[in-house]
């Protein structure tokens, strides 16, 4: 049962490509159904976040998977293939465990990815694309992630994309915060975390723009912020000094036409993938536009101190992934043994059945033919096990006898 983990992430692909290869959360069941229907891949899980789009599945056909990626996102093979990575079997299991533990994240040790992976698994279970193999695999992955969190310091002093964005703004924006109006587009976890890191900063005004006013209002109450709808963005953008955007939309929310000719600086941080702010906005006068990829250096500065914890986590992952692969190998051996034994029995039965049919054609008594058939088949089935058990008893290998009792359910 081959296992393949493949995709693109922040290490292999620029944001311009990552935002094209996003699996919409509300369409995961359709993607998985397409895999099963057209590629005959029955076990699969899709993980799509702002920094990665990955497929975990039971296949060894890399070409098939590349073509599937291209078809889902209407992208040419030569535009994506060089940015994709492929891990097989043991390497695939280790990669998936590293992802769940936050070891492959832009922010080393971040915990949000585990929740995203659990959600992806649940969606795949609901879609019927998880069987015995992936059920066992993901339970092992989640157990390892919990163990790593419990027994290492990988999650100590966590740095999030939101905190990195706020730090980047504080270090880069030449704007007095006590005179600044902060506009946040979105009202999800990322925006909530960003507001926490601005909590002790004296801002002139905080505005939250969101499709769902109710959700934005709940967030606004925590931070004494004002709430507007997305439709009111153009009028508010003219007064904003700092903008942070992080929605789950698939099309730009802020366009170049919304940004008027400005006489004062506007600092914009777009940490959504796909991006919320049109790239052409950066052409506007006095506008500084940054994206997720601009945070890499800031995040890297906060990694020091967790390298040792990461090394310890990797050792744990190696051990647990080998343990899983031993289980998988034993499962294959069991299946192979069962198939071989069934064939032996079927071959013996076939031989005796031919004899019985010949006897019936010659006019022998059917009752005697059936009795002869049963007797001969029983003798042949018991011959080899009986010889092996006698030999084991003669050599004093009592464990073989105990195993036989368990195998054939023989009471002691």
Domain boundaries along the sequence of the chain: 4-158, 161-294, 347-407
CA-CA distance, 217 to 209, in Å (whole number)? 10
Q: Would you give the DSSP letter of residue 8?
A: E
pLDDT given at position 309: 84
Q: What are phi and psi of 270, to 5 degrees?
A: -105, 105
Q: Would you give the DSSP letter of residue 254?
A: B
Q: Same CATH fold, 161-294 and 4-158?
A: no
What distances in angstroms separate CA 267 from CA 160, 168, 174, 259, one per listed residue? 20, 11, 9, 12
- DSSP alpha helix (H) spans, 132-173: 132-151, 161-172
Q: Topology of domain 4-158, per CATH?
A: Beta Polymerase; domain 2 (3.30.460)
Catalytic residue among 6, 50, 57, 101: 50
And the tokens for 75?
């992208």
pLDDT given at position 114: 94
pLDDT tens for the chain, 412 residues: list them. 799 999 999 999 999 999 999 999 889 999 999 999 989 898 999 999 989 999 999 998 999 999 999 999 999 999 999 999 999 999 999 999 999 999 999 888 888 899 999 999 999 999 999 999 999 999 999 999 999 999 988 876 656 888 889 989 998 988 888 899 999 999 998 999 999 989 888 899 999 999 999 999 999 999 999 999 999 999 899 889 999 999 988 899 999 999 877 778 999 999 999 999 999 999 998 899 999 999 887 787 666 667 788 899 999 999 999 999 998 888 777 778 888 888 888 988 999 999 999 999 999 999 999 999 999 899 988 888 888 888 888 888 888 888 888 888 888 7
pLDDT given at position 204: 92
Pick from 129, 174, 121: which is nearest to 31 by CA?
129
Angle at 81 between CA 77 and CA 86, to 5 degrees: 135
pLDDT given at position 158: 59
Does domain 161-294 correspond to CATH entry 3.10.450.50? no
Pick from 55, 87, 82, 85: which is nearest to 68 by CA?
55
- 0.85 exceeded by pTM: no
Q: Would you give the DSSP letter of residue 93?
A: H
CA-CA distance, 256 to 284, in Å (whole number)? 7
Does residue 50 have an active-site annotation?
yes
pLDDT given at position 302: 63
One DSSP character per residue, 256-278 reads GGGSPPPSS-EEEEE--SS-SB-
């Amino acid at each position: 049962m081959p296992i393949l983990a493949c995709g693109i992430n922040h290490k292999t692909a620029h944001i311009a490509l990552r935002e094209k290869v996003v699996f919409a959360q509300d369409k995961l069941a359709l993607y998985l159904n397409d895999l099963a229907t057209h590629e005959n891949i029955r076990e699969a899980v899709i993980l799509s976040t702002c920094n990665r789009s990955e497929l975990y599945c039971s296949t060894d056909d890399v070409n098939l998977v590349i073509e599937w990626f291209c078809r889902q996102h209407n992208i040419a093979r030569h535009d994506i293939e060089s940015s994709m990575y492929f891990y097989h079997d043991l390497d695939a299991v280790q990669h998936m465990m590293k992802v769940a533990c936050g070891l492959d994240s832009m922010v080393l040790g971040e915990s949000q990815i585990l929740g995203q992976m659990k959600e992806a698994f649940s969606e795949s279970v609901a879609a019927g694309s998880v069987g015995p193999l992936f059920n066992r695999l993901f339970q092992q992955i989640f157990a390892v992630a919990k163990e790593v969190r419990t027994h290492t310091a990988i999650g100590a002093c966590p740095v999030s994309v939101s905190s990195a964005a706020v730090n980047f703004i504080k270090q880069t924006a030449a704007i007095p915060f006590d005179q600044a109006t902060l506009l946040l587009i979105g009202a999800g976890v990322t925006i909530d975390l960003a507001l926490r890191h601005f909590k002790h900063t004296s801002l002139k005004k905080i505005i939250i723009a969101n499709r769902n006013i109710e959700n934005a209002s709940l967030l606004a109450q925590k931070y004494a912020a004002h709430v507007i709808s997305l439709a009111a963005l153009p009028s508010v953008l003219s007064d904003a000094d700092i903008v942070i955007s992080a929605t789950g939309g698939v099309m730009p929310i802020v366009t170049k036409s919304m940004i008027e000719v400005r006489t004062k600086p506007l600092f914009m941080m777009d940490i959504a993938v796909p991006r919320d702010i049109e790239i052409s906005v950066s052409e506007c006068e006095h506008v500084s536009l940054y994206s997720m990829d601009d945070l890499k250096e800031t995040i890297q500065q906060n990694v020091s101190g967790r390298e040792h914890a990461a090394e310890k986590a990797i050792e744990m992952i190696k051990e647990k992934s080998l343990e899983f692969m031993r289980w998988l190998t034993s499962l294959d051996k069991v299946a192979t043994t069962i198939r071989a034994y069934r064939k032996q029995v079927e071959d013996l039965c076939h031989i005796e059945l031919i004899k019985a049919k010949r006897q019936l054609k010659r006019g022998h008594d059917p009752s005697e033919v059936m009795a002869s058939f049963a007797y001969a088949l029983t003798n042949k089935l018991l011959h080899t096990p009986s010889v092996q058990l006698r030999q084991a008893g003669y050599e004093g290998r009592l464990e073989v006898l105990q195993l036989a009792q368990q195998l054939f359910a023989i009471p002691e």
